Structure 1
């Protein structure tokens, strides 16, 4: 962190209006707003880390009881990946503490780290949600008779993480010797510097987030319609309790979970808007 101080003229790049060192320029209202962002991110980080710890503890208990490793379902694997990306997102937001302290953004290694962390978290969340949406759509609409192998899910998650890490690392390396830093001041925190690299920001982050939002809408509409039809059928079958009891419990569980997840598109679109 840098101590709060005035902005030097040499730190201002008039070609794109961004400021390399804006310390001492944030008003009380801006700093207060960032405090709320950090508080929410801190709560999110604690909750996500607690949930991940609980999942790990349950896995350890299961292993001790059965003396054998029990593979989680593919949905659980995607969900764990989503939680990890959520945690990284929260860490990136918590780093705003530096800009609260300095009353402005100061470009440098810390700023670069925040930009990379934010991008990894945002794209990781988008791709994990996309994987969950496709899997849910396949189960409910296409009536997949067998769930995808957990090993396939692990491969997909590995590809997701490899992609987001390579994209951020390669982008930083390619632009390392440019006059303008690739990850820099975007007014209130650090991310891909705009408007200098606005095309990169759209192609390497926003496009994935918007695509995920669009695909979620396109997939969850038929999922919701299918679930509503299924509920009508359940009401008709309620007169025949034997038939209803013979319905696959696993299928009922999947449908219940899918119905709850049908709210994902709305929540995600609100989040990325």
Structure 2
């Protein structure tokens, strides 16, 4: 049983709960809209949700994980009311939900980044059922992380952790069961973003299955700035979710690194980074609304034209055959895309 929370801690937890509540309401509302859209709006309508692409599946899984995480963080209300933290059923449930939500969001975000890298940079596509395999792997990994550790250590792995409940135990256990997945996802997101930026700006050329730096003798390559703005905007929109994840998880990770290293991290810093991280669901919902014009009433749906990126010899469509950008956001399998 922990000591009584002072006023500063309770205010910080209240702010975190407000961010979690906003995320839960936003994500829950979006998921209800998606269910309504998929079930009642006519097929091929601009506002109808469909699961025609891999990223639709990954995005849906990411938002469900956000909702689980937000619900777990909302249980901080119990500690605000009691002004202290203590083990028990609520503590165990909170630790479980936060772990499942953290890992689910991380792996889903990684899946989005890797799919964008596969389609836009490597120009390889996979059958639609491959997305279901990826989702199965994500939930199997999550189930393994939740079920196996308690069996190995022979006790409940969730308990009090500073100001809320989380994975209880050593730093190694917390890193292995939660934080390593956040950090690996951040690294994969950065690599994907850098690769796509290098290809879009023509600094790196895709020559068949090889990558190489652009040389002066590549005179037939479209120069930087010609025909790239539309593609750059679309690619950035697709990668906005992994990029947003990096921005929100980085401060949280730095604070945890300092804490794991034995530094005294002020609660104000912990509260700020945790509130930022708790807002992920809200920001992703806002991002979705702005990158999907068909979702918003009164906003015209926009179908972009085919765009070009140069390889070693000729200019060709960067989106592999059978792929194009839908609604400025997702990569959709449609059939051959004709270059103008």
TM-score by length of 1: 0.75
Summarize the alignment of residues 25-40 of structure 1 with structure 2, pairs less than 5 Å apart: 25-40=4-19
Quick one: structure 1 residues 182 and 267, their matched pair in 2 at CA, closer, same or farther if it must change by over 3 Å?
Answer: closer
Aligned length: 231
Asked whether the equivalents of residues 182 and 197 of structure 1 are also in contact (C-alpha less than 8 Å), the reply is: no
Asked whether the equivalents of residues 127 and 212 of structure 1 are also in contact (C-alpha less than 8 Å), the reply is: yes
Q: Which structure features the higher share of helix residues? A: 1
Q: For residue 102 of structure 1, what is the aligned residue in structure 2?
A: 82
Question: 1:149 offset after TM fit, Å?
Answer: 2.6
Question: 1:200 offset after TM fit, Å?
Answer: 1.3
Could you give the per-residue CA deviations for residues 113-142 of structure 1, whole angstroms, max 9, x where no partner exists? 111111111011111111111111112211
> 2 CA distance for matches of 1:103 and 1:139?
51
Summarize the alignment of residues 244-263 of structure 1 with structure 2, pairs less than 5 Å apart: 255=235, 257-258=237-238, 260-261=240-241, 263=243
Residue in structure 2 matching 1:136, options 116, 130, 138:
116
Q: For residue 250 of structure 2, what is the aligned residue in structure 1?
A: 269
Residue in structure 1 matching 2:92, options 65, 90, 112:
112
Q: Does 1:221 align with 2:194?
A: yes
SS of equivalent to 1:263: helix
Quick one: structure 1 residues 152 and 253, their matched pair in 2 at CA, closer, same or farther if it must change by over 3 Å?
Answer: farther
> 1 CA distance for matches of 2:52 and 2:251?
30
SS of equivalent to 1:105: coil
The Cα RMSD (Å) is 2.8
Instruction: Flag structure 2 segments of 5+ consecutive residues without an equivalent.
Output: 204-221, 255-340
> 1 CA distance for matches of 2:252 and 2:188?
15
Residue in structure 1 matching 2:65, options 77, 85, 95:
85
Residue in structure 1 matching 2:160, options 169, 182, 185:
185
> 1 CA distance for matches of 2:56 and 2:131?
9
TM-score by length of 2: 0.61
